[in-house]
Amino acid sequence: MMVSSDLTWSGHIGSMVSNARSKLSWVFSVFRTRDRAVMTTLYKSLVRSLLEYCCPLWNPSKVAEIQLIEGVQRTFTSRVSGLKNLNYRERLSELKLMSLQRRRERYIILMMWKILHNVVPNSSDIQFKTTPRHGVVAVIPPLSRSSSLHNQSLYDGSFTVIGPKLWNKVPQTVKAAESFIKFKCSLSDFLALIPDQPPVAGYSSSWTNSLVDYSPTRWSDI
């Protein structure tokens, strides 16, 4: 992985997507079958894994980068037998796949659970506190007031900020799970209730598909 000269992950994301597309082309050229089960297994093992390695670290906030990554999965789903005439959301449903954006946020929430329970180091110095209404909530560490606007922008899109925001969207009943396995299962059940509509051409700032913007009232009509 590499950080660009402007301290972003743009270079890494571009290289990663290029490698994933090359691998996807190889899969379709070598394996002539278009059987859904076979192709989905190959995609998950050989392509999607390239797009998710260490994703809590480089998870993008820029619209263009979110679309760029999602485009790999769009291409895959459009070439699976019987799905060509369906829209992307319908293809995901047929193949029982999440959008890549939703999966990255899921990984971040899982990482937050591990930090809370001291399974991994808390290198971001994220603090937790318990409240009567919301259970354990995460507190975003403050950035120095002397930081530049560029640094503030980078900080706002970092794990240190996004991690707590996502964690605090998870219901108390889910966060209270006693083990990691139970937490993963409960989190999956919770995420299954939330519309997963990845960004498309004409992406609007009013619709991000991110759990950060989730509220039951706002999403009830989507």
pLDDT in tens, 43-62: 999 999 999 999 999 999 88
Location of structure tokens 């037998």: 81
What pLDDT is stored for residue 63 in this prediction? 86
What whole-number distance in Å separates Cα of residue 198 and Cα of residue 203?
Answer: 9
Q: Work out the pLDDT band at 221, boundaries 50, 70, 90.
A: very low
At residue 154 the predicted structure's pLDDT band, cuts being 50, 70 and 90, is confident
> pLDDT-derived band of residue 220, with 50, 70 and 90 as boundaries?
very low
Q: What is the dihedral of CA 85, 88, 93, 97, to 10 degrees?
A: 130
Please report the pLDDT score of residue 148 as a whole number.
Answer: 62
Q: Is the pTM of this model over 0.75?
A: yes
- Residue-level pLDDT at 177: 93
Q: What is the Cβ-side half-sphere exposure of residue 30, based on CA atoms within 13 angstroms? A: 11
Q: Assess whether pLDDT exceeds 80 at residue 199.
A: no
